[in-house]
Structure 1
């Protein structure tokens, strides 16, 4: 049995405009890294956290990585196993890009590797959801599932958990801009309407079905015209400065879609190529500067691999 492993897990875009809590996909960058070592003494401990500006807890009962790893060890009947964890935050916290998810997934992939892979990556999803529940109050899977499985993912049902990996056009590119605006996930969930009109629900169902159909058919135009949200985005967009002007800029520069990544404040677009994605990022960052807001940008294809071993 290996005694140590280093793992990278990717950031994710959840909701994907119209698919609130049921759609998500992984991207190549950013992401988080974990180094995990087996130790002789029982217990899961965190020995190092970097890149978090001191915001994440070391206490194993309060960190999403250690909590998920302990749940995993209990489940496979190895609670006596001792583990040391080093966490390297390579992506911004509170970005709407699945920061807690990437850390948790890296940890679970690492411990499963060290234990000889007794569980499939699909079987690891519920343990990652435990981490999400601790991080943001709700154990949703639209970040952790694509981070674990790679690609584009649909959560058809939560009870029972039913997750489907979807095909997608390989030429789809994603551009992401993270403005330095504070939008805590718990707060962003609280402002969502609890009652929805039947008219809006019908529009939303049609768009989700259209998006999934477009992915299967690899019909980029269908994907583009299906990515509209009449339920969540109209409320959450108020938390992002000049949201509708940003959308106009993106669409005028070749974007196929524009929306909020997760609960925000990051925004993302789909494009047909890397060049368009980079141009859109530059235009959006320039507009944020005009708003006196610093931002970070990324662009990548959809990540089909999920977590990977780095050494």
Structure 2
């Protein structure tokens, strides 16, 4: 399959229609998909983040409001991933004459392992692109989203921003040049996601990863990644499930997530195809072959956490193949 990212330059469309304001939703994501550290990810239907962006009389990019972050995110334009990415975008298309005001509404917890910063960045980039008549394709927006991830967590990876921006399940084949491949989405595939209210900072989780791995472990991991991709192409749910094994990253990161192995046992008993950590955690996810099974898994895992005195959020979702979208018919 050919890469879905190609460099085609800025689209020259004389009839582009610009807007005065837009309201955009961008989805949360599950990165790694257990065995595909930094190379696999998929988009969820919920949760996600919203951005309202308006043209302003004053020049420059301005954050005018942020909700849902408990005051944790910077309001300075150059330090916030949303506004910083918008600034880079405007410089690239030579539209620094444009002034915009941004409202960011966080609909998911920061540090959840669900691509919180990625969803915000993608919402902002999709909003400014839409506001100015879509001069770039979604694929051409991806490098700016990767820059936002670098600002957010110190590592410019695409396993969250690519599925959030492009939708579906994505494989990051390489970065030089950037090569992102769309993978098939089996029609019966659903996911259960549970976010326990525990703190696992992304930077800390990444620093725990071993710099070197044994060749025998690498071979196991390669086989699982290939098996998972093959399972997606053939809608072989059993192959998908038995390929969701991680011998490199999960054994270390699981230490940071209370009750991880018990949650996995309960999820598998409840019918999960596979179970693992979403991104760097603490969120966990399971694949299931129906919405009903995914709903049951979510209920069982949340009930166990509650019994251990751990509150949580739970989500049940198909794979979001749409990516970011403009919200119509709501007051802005």
TM-score of the aligned structures, taking structure 2 as reference length: 0.93
2:188 is the counterpart of 1:188: no
Counterparts of 2:137 and 2:230, CA distance in 1: 27
What is residue 242 of structure 1 aligned with on the other side? Answer: 259
1:78 CA displacement: 0.9
User: Which residue of structure 2 aligns with residue 40 of structure 1?
Assistant: 57
Equivalent residue of 2:124, what SS? helix
Deviations 1:18-67 (A, max 9, x none): 00000000010000000000112210000000111111111001100000
Which residue among 39, 43, 57 is the counterpart of 1:22? 39
Alignment match, 2:247: 230
Partner of residue 90, structure 2 = 73
Count of equivalent residues: 311
CA distance in 1, matches of 2:113, 2:204: 12
Runs of 4+ with deviation above 2 angstroms: none
Residue 107 of structure 1: aligned partner? 124
How do residues 76-87 of structure 1 correspond to structure 2 at under 5 angstroms? 76-87=93-104
Deviations 1:115-168 (A, max 9, x none): 111111011111011111111110100000000000000000012110011112
For the pair 1:56 / 2:63, whether they are aligned, the reply is: no
Shift of residue 289 of structure 1? 1.4
Q: Which runs of 5+ in 2 are unaligned?
A: 1-17
Give SS of 1:12's match: strand
| SS of 1:268 mapped into structure 2 | strand
Who is 2:133 aligned against? 116
> In the aligned structure 2, how far is the partner of 1:291 from the partner of 1:238?
17
**Structure 1 stretch displaced more, 284-293 or 257-266:** 284-293
Aligned partners of 1:260 and 1:188: how far apart in 2?
12
Aligned equivalent of 1:271: 288
Which of 209, 228, 239 aligns to 1:211? It is 228
Q: Partners in 2 of 1:283 and 1:49 — Cα distance?
A: 34
After superposition, the CA RMSD in angstroms is 0.7
Number of the residue aligned with 2:276: 259
After superposition, the C-alpha distances for 1:169-193 in whole angstroms (9 at most, x for unaligned) are: 1110000000001001000000001
Q: 299, 305, 308: which one pairs with 1:282?
A: 299
Q: CA deviation at 1:194?
A: 0.5
Which of these residues, 151, 155, 159, is aligned with residue 176 of structure 2? Answer: 159
Normalization by structure 1: what TM-score? 0.99
